Amino acid sequence: MPDSLPVRFVICGVGHIGRRHATLVARYPGAQLVGLVDTNTELAAALSLEFPGIPFFSSLEACFLANCEADVLTIATPNDQHTPQAIAGLAHGLHVVIEKPIALRTRDAEAVVRMAEQTGRLVFGVMQNRYSPPAAWLKQLVEGGQLGQVYLVQINCFWNRDARYYHAGGWKGTQQQDGGTLFTQFSHFVDLLYWVFGDITNISARFRDFNHGETTEFEDSGLVTFDLVRGGSGTLQYSTAVWDRNLESSLTLIAEHGSLKIGGQYMDKVEYCHLRNYALPALPPTNPANDYGPYQGSAANHVQVIENVVETVQKRSHATTNALEGLKVVEIIERIYSLKGASANA
């Protein structure tokens, strides 16, 4: 498409994150918001005030039947809807942006990849950690060889997700629609692991449900160990059982030529860096966390996602997170969760 034309977005799912997408699209100079879709028709009145003149549809089918002219479909709906809606959007000739995860099963993610290939459309996964300055710095270090051989990688994700988050009657916390803690809460940290260090093997895991017995149908905590295919070993320790507020998201790395730690609540700062013949450069500031009122999420990097989509669709850049990488994250999580039957505490 010509550079002068804005990239037109339809947002499917206008909850907190979907509304954030809509707001950022409406503000972004190279983008245009052309439609909002949600099965909750009670949202229509408020959305008409917040986004005047933007049509509201109660289903994707209604949006397509109305010939809503768009270039990109952004999907911010319950996890189990991501695959069918992505396939419908691609079949309709739209590029697709999918909030994490792109699917709950490897075979479904593969179906999205096949449809993208068949239609010649692009699929973007929302993996916001890739836009974090410390994460980008870490990837450059690993790819540049300054670390030498990677020995140990430790990722800790210790968050609060209590009854303020897991509402009775909602989709979050259900096995069918949510899929599990690694899918909804921490898939972007699995993505960071894969993006920086590559694939993992020799996985073992233990799962516990400490304080979510009344609110979720799956574990709230997990201890995962693995080997890196490229060499070295690692652990992923995660929990949503932290009392009252998030504790941290951190990555500690021990390597041949030194050690480092990225920490903070949202992996937003370099807490330690001691590498041979290397001085830590000044990094750009990390965006603040997504604020959901009583609880918080990871760094709010959605504007970079939208910028990347616009630049890529207008052929000035390439997708930061493509469908194949999104598929790989689903496959890694599926391999971890396949061990639940072997865990006495699953």
For 143-169, write each residue's pLDDT tens digit.
999 999 999 999 999 999 999 999 888
Q: Give residue 219's pLDDT band: very low, low, confident or very high (50, 70, 90).
A: very high
Share of the chain above pLDDT 70, in %: 93
pLDDT tens sequence across 5-41: 999 999 999 999 999 999 999 999 999 999 999 999 9
- The yes-or-no verdict on residue 289 having pLDDT over 80 is no
Which residues pair with residue 252 across a beta bridge? 154, 261
Question: 321 vs 212, which has greater pLDDT?
Answer: 212
What is the token pair recorded at 87?
A: 């396939």
Question: 112 vs 346, which has greater pLDDT?
Answer: 112
Rounded Cα distance, 155 and 251, in Å: 4
For residues 68-82, average pLDDT: 97
- The yes-or-no verdict on residue 343 having pLDDT over 90 is no
CATH code, 130-298: 3.30.360.10
- The yes-or-no verdict on residue 295 having pLDDT over 50 is no
Closest to 105 measured CA to CA, from 193, 176, 40: 176
Q: How remote is the C-alpha of 228 from its chain's centroid?
A: 22
- The yes-or-no verdict on residue 291 having pLDDT over 80 is no
Q: Which is the CATH superfamily of the domain at 7-125?
A: NAD(P)-binding Rossmann-like Domain (3.40.50.720)
Q: Which residues belong to CATH 3.30.360.10 in the chain? A: 130-298
3-state secondary structure of 321: coil
Q: Give residue 344's pLDDT band: very low, low, confident or very high (50, 70, 90).
A: very low
For residues 190-213, average pLDDT: 97
Q: Give residue 43's pLDDT band: very low, low, confident or very high (50, 70, 90).
A: very high
Residue 130, Cβ density class (10 Å: 0-12 exposed, 13-18 middle, ≥19 buried): buried
Rounded Cα distance, 116 and 122, in Å: 6
Q: Give residue 131's pLDDT band: very low, low, confident or very high (50, 70, 90).
A: confident
Q: Which residues belong to CATH 3.40.50.720 in the chain? A: 7-125
pLDDT value of position 299: 47
How many beta carbons lie within 10 A of that of residue 298, not counting itself?
A: 25
